[in-house]
Structure 1
Amino acid sequence: MTEASSTEAPALTPQFCFNERLLRDFLSLSRSTIDDSITQNLNALITPAREGFDPSSTAVRQIDSKTRKAIDPRNCQGFKDNVLFPSWQTRSDVLTYCAGVATSPDPDDPDLILRETESARDRERVVNERLDPYSARFFPREARTESLANLVRNQRTVEDIIRTRTWGMVTERCGGSTSWEDALNNWRHSNQR
C-alpha cells in the first residue's frame, strides 16, 4: 500500500480557502481515500498468502467479526503512522489555516462595497409593517469570511464524526484503547509536528 496523494497539502492561500467548492472537494477526496474506505485499507494489511490457501475456509460463510484474521501489529502501526495520521494532520492543517483566514480582515472582498451600499440603503428605508408585512425583510449579504467560518466549523464537526468512526474500526481490527485524539497527539509529538 502506498501513501495516498490525499495526504499532500494543497497550496494554502486565502484564495484556496475562499474557493469553498475547492476546499470541500479536497476534504471530501481525502476522506474518501482514507476514512470512507477504512475497511478495505485495513483488509489490505492482511497478507493471507503467507499461510497458503485453506479450501475449508470457503465451506462456511464467515460473517462474525471475531473470525476475522488478526492484522500484524507492525502493519497496523505502519498504516497509522504513514497513511492515517498524515492524512488527518493535513486536513487539520488546512482547516486551521482556513479558520485563520476566516477570522482575518478581508481587504480583497469583492462584495464589500455592495454590502455597504445595501446596508446604507437599509438604514434609510421607512418600514410600515401594517401596510406591507414583508417590507421589513432584508437579508444582508454574508461576508465571505463569515461564510468560510461557517464552512470550517461544519467541516470540523464532520472531521470529528469521521475520525471517531474510523478510529473505532482501527481499534477493533488493530487493538488499542486510546482515543483518536490521544493517538494523533502522540504521533504529532513523535514526529515533532
Structure 2
Amino acid sequence: MTQPSVAPQLSPQFCFSTTALRDFLRISRSAIDDSITQNLNALITPAKRGFDPSSTARRVPQPVSREIDSESCQNFKDKVLFPSWQSRSQVLSYCALVATSPDPDDPEAAIREAELEKNRDRVVDERLDPYSARFFPQEPRTERLALLLRQEQGVENIVRTRTWEVVKERCGESVETWEQALATWRKDRPV
C-alpha cells in the first residue's frame, strides 16, 4: 500500500522557500491523488480464489468488478488518503499564518525602504514610459507567499474533488463531498 505523505518540519523558512513548499505539495499530490486509480487498483486482489488454468483458454478476459471491497477502501482512506490530505492542510494552514504575520526577518525590507525613499519624488506615467515599472518597489515576501498559497489552495480543492469522485465511484462511497468525508475522519480520529 502507498505510504501517506508526511508533513515536513514546519518553519517560516520552509514557507518562504517556495521551491520546498511547492515540491512537498507536488510530490504528495503525485503519490496519492494523481495516481488514485493505480492506488485503488492495487487494493483489488484478483488471485484471491487462486489461479484458474481455464482462464488462459479465452482471449477476452471476463469483466472485472470495478468496485473494491469496503474494508480495503476504508483502510486506504483512513491510513493513506486522509492523512496525506491532513498533512497538506497543515502545511497550507501554517504557511497561511506565516504569510499573514509580520515579517521582521525580511531580507529585502531595507532595500524596499531605500527604493521607496528614492522614488517618492519621481512622477511615473506608464503611458509615456512603458519601463516605469522598474521604479515600483517589490512586494514583501509575505504578500508573494499569500498569493502562492491562494493558488495552491485552489489547486488542492480541484485535486481533492477529482480524487474523491474516483473514490466514490470505485469504493461505493455514499458521502457526497471530500470536505464532509475529511471532517468525519478528523472527528472520529483519536487526538
- With normalisation by structure 1, the TM-score equals 0.88
Provide the residue aligned with 1:25 in structure 2: 23
Instruction: Pick one of 148, 171, 176 that aligns with 1:174.
Output: 171
Distance 1:57 1:50, change over 3 A: farther
- Superposed CA deviations along residues 44-65 of structure 1, whole A, max 9, x for unmatched, are 1011111234516962267x8x
**Counterparts of 1:51-62 in structure 2 under 5 Å?**
51-54=49-52, 55=55, 59-60=59-60
Deviations 1:96-135, CA, capped at 9 Å, x for gaps = 00000000000000000111111112212145778x4347
In 2, distance between residues paired with 1:188 and 1:75? 19
Percent identity reads 59
Structure 2: segments with no counterpart, 5+ residues: none
Partner of 2:153: 156
1:147-176 Cα offsets, whole Å, 9 max, x none, are 100111100000000000000000000012
Relative to structure 1, is the Cα distance of residues 149 and 41 closer, same or farther in structure 2, using a 3 angstrom cutoff?
Answer: same
| Maintained 8 Å contact 1:17/1:98 | yes
What SS is found at the alignment partner of 1:48? coil
Deviation at 1:142, TM superposition (A): 1.4
Provide the rounded CA distance (Å) in 1 between the counterparts of 2:185 and 2:86: 10
Change (3 A) 1:129 1:78: closer
Q: Do structure 1's residue 122 and structure 2's residue 119 form an aligned pair?
A: yes
Q: Is the 8 A contact 2:67 2:172 kept in 1?
A: no
Cα shift readout 1:60-82 (whole Å, capped 9, x = no counterpart): 267x8xx5343110000000000
| Alignment-derived partner of residue 12 in structure 1 | 10
Structure 2 distance, partners of 1:58, 1:106, is 68
The residue number in structure 1 matching 2:41 is 43
Contact 1:127 1:135 survives alignment (8 Å): no
Q: Match of 2:129? A: 133
User: Using a 3 Å threshold, how does the CA distance of structure 1 residues 184 and 108 change in structure 2: closer, same or farther?
Assistant: same
Structure 1 gaps of 5+ residues are none
Partner SS for 2:120: helix
Equivalent residue runs for 1:39-118 within 5 Å: 39-54=37-52, 55=55, 59-60=59-60, 67-118=64-115
SS of the residue corresponding to residue 34 of structure 2 reads coil
For the aligned residues, what is the CA RMSD? 2.2
Separation of aligned partners in 1, 2:170 and 2:136: 51
Moved over 6 A (4+): none
Give the counterpart of 1:146 among 139, 143, 147: 143
Give deviations 1:7-53, integer Å, cap 9, x for gaps.
21100000000000000000000001100110110001011111234
Count residues in correspondence: 187
